[in-house]
Amino acid sequence: MKFAKLIFLFVLTIAAIGCSKDDDNGPAPYEYTKDNLTGTYKITFFESREVETVNVSGFDVVTTTSSIGDTFNVSSVFASNNTVTIDGTYRITETVTQGSQSNTETYIVDIDNETSGYSANAATAELTIDGSTYKVSNFNPTGFTISLSETTTEPNGDNSVYTEELRFTKQ
């Protein structure tokens, strides 16, 4: 009986030593690289916001423009030759607010096979399209999100802060 217990403890010890934490690491993360970016995507989300502050006779006048996209039928092809081609339509609802006054209008954006250059910087998780540099987040095999934030200050002190977010789903 002692021999059976000894064998059982030996097998249990071998099993415990043989199983380590790094056996269960799972698949490697899907990395943001140019090769992984290359492909066809649908744009599924667009939002932007611009806050402009202009000094008029010593008073700051703040104008906020918010744009929200919907009804997307837009494809984006990121080619291996560093070009992106965008084609399709979507609707924008734009609200301009100044003080307590706001105005909302809706219009259709029609992009007809527009081609621009792009560069992917994996080290900084950035995507530059036609001179605008976006931060890339949530990059995975099914899509990704890009966001942009730009602040501009004029010599006279007027400034604007612009933010934008787009989401892409891989086809």
Radius of gyration (C-alpha) of the chain in whole angstroms:
26
Q: Per residue in 61-96, pLDDT tens?
A: 999 999 999 999 999 999 999 999 999 999 999 999
Distance CA 30, CA 34 (A): 12
d(CA 55, CA 129): 32
pLDDT reported for residue 29: 84
CA distance 86 to 91: 15
Coil, strand or helix at 165: strand
For residue range 152-166, list pLDDT tens digits in order.
999 998 999 999 999
> What pLDDT digit, counting tens, does each position of 8-61 carry?
545 455 555 555 555 556 677 899 999 999 999 999 999 999 999 999 998 999
Question: Residue 49, class by beta-carbon neighbours within 10 Å (0-12 exposed, 13-18 middle, 19+ buried)?
Answer: middle
Q: What is the dihedral of CA 99, 101, 106, 110, to 10 degrees?
A: -30
**In this predicted structure, what is the pLDDT of residue 21?**
55
Q: What is the pLDDT of residue 165?
A: 99
Of residues 162, 89, 109, the one with CA closest to residue 132: 162
Q: Read off the tokens for 2.
A: 């002692």
Predicted local confidence at residue 28, as pLDDT: 73
- What pTM did the predictor assign? 0.81
In this predicted structure, what is the pLDDT of residue 54? 96
Give pLDDT, residue 5.
53
Quickly count: other Cβ atoms within 10 Å of residue 127's Cβ. 23
Q: What is the mean pLDDT of residues 132-145?
A: 98
pLDDT-based confidence at residue 2 (cuts at 50, 70, 90): low
Paired with 87 in beta bridges are 75
